[in-house]
Structure 1
Amino acid sequence: MSDKRSAGLLLFRRTPVAPDGGPEVLIGHMGGPFWAARSEASWSIPKGEYEPDEAPEDAARREFEEELGLPAPDGAWLPLGENRQHNGKLVTIWAVEADLDPERVVPGTFTMEWPRGSGVLRDFPEIDRVGWFGLAEAGPLLVAGQRVFLERLAARLAGA
């Protein structure tokens, strides 16, 4: 079992143009060569790892800004709880109702050796695009371990 922890912030907005009439969520397609040709199960809630001495809320705010290049929006944070992903990492997510223009996003980058074994280090965007999706549309796009947060958001918004 991994002791790694991650925290993130899921933006949602209520809009009459959503495909299912419900809220839309903002998610990002993971950057780098591994994810480039994939669509399903290759999107993520903006999130990232944190150390035990950092509050998860602070990490969620920091990671949002690092991944999207924009400060986390103001608003009430709705806790969506934790979920252990397939890799063992424990992920904690909050939701905030806010609108954000995807065109304003300036993703952060990471460096990795590519191609593997080549000795060449290259920079890649942490996320290569973001978009607004209805909950039903976002489900198959998200990595499996994060889909539960869509269900929890829907329940919270329905008053459950």
Structure 2
Amino acid sequence: MTARRSAGLLLYRFVDGDLQVLLAHMGGPFWARRDAGAWSIPKGEYADDEAPLAAARREFTEELGVPVPDGEVVALGEVSQSGGKVVSAFALHADLDPDAIEPGTFTMEWPKGSGREQAFPEVDRVAWFDPATAEDKLVTAQRAFLERLRAAVAG
């Protein structure tokens, strides 16, 4: 069985010389009351016939409802999350107003076992964070992307 694969974009900017990254809080009832470990880079799954960068761009627009900002991307490699999903990330130096997002939605049975389908936002909010704060908020496996980003922008 092939591992599920996701790809995403990690936007970064500098404010008064300090690095900040844009993270998305995962939408839906499971994540609603969580903060630490409940944020992610905007990402989503893709099939074997799609390139990771193309998937990252598509998923960014689907999840946040805004076009991908212009700019060169830097590959940050892959990580394996605890559930076995392999995530590829790409860094992009750009600015984005978190209030501009219009998140896409997904449908799931909720409450579980009720037979009722409900729509939820892919992400319920996005925000800029310094790397130390981002590390506390990110899904554990994705924290490696912060270190890789720091190395990329330092070089």
Shorter-chain TM-score tier: over 0.9
Cα distance per residue 1:23-74 (max 9 Å; x no partner): 1000010000000000000001000000000111110000000000011111
Matched, 1:37 2:33: yes
Q: What is the identity, as a one-letter code, of the residue corresponding to 2:71?
A: G
Task: Give the alignment partner of residue 113 of structure 2, picking from 97, 117, 120.
Answer: 117
Q: What is the identity, as a one-letter code, of the residue corresponding to 1:80?
A: L
Q: How far off its partner does 1:75 sit? A: 0.5
| Length-normalised TM-score, structure 1 | 0.94
Coordinate RMSD, CA, aligned:
1.0
The equivalences for 1:54-133 within 5 A come to 54-133=50-129
Which secondary structure state, in structure 1, belongs to the residue aligned with residue 60 of structure 2? helix
Q: Which residue of 2 aligns with 1:7?
A: 7
Q: What is the identity, as a one-letter code, of the residue corresponding to 2:76?
A: L
Q: What is the identity, as a one-letter code, of the residue corresponding to 2:68?
A: A
Contact 1:2 1:87 in 2 (8 A): no
Cα distance per residue 1:62-96 (max 9 Å; x no partner): 00000000111110101100111111111100000
Distance between the aligned counterparts of 2:2 and 2:152, measured in 1? 29
* Percent of paired sites with the same residue: 61
Distance between the aligned counterparts of 1:79 and 1:46, measured in 2? 15
Distance between the aligned counterparts of 1:26 and 1:61, measured in 2? 15
Contact 1:6 1:49 in 2 (8 A): yes
Cα distance per residue 1:87-134 (max 9 Å; x no partner): 111110000000000110000000000000000000000100000000
- Segments of 4+ moved more than 3 angstroms: none
Cα distance per residue 1:1-42 (max 9 Å; x no partner): 8511110000000111xxxx5310000100000000000000
What 5-or-longer segments of structure 2 have no aligned partner? none
Contact 1:5 1:90 in 2 (8 A): yes
Cα distance per residue 1:118-158 (max 9 Å; x no partner): 00000000100000000011001000010000010001111
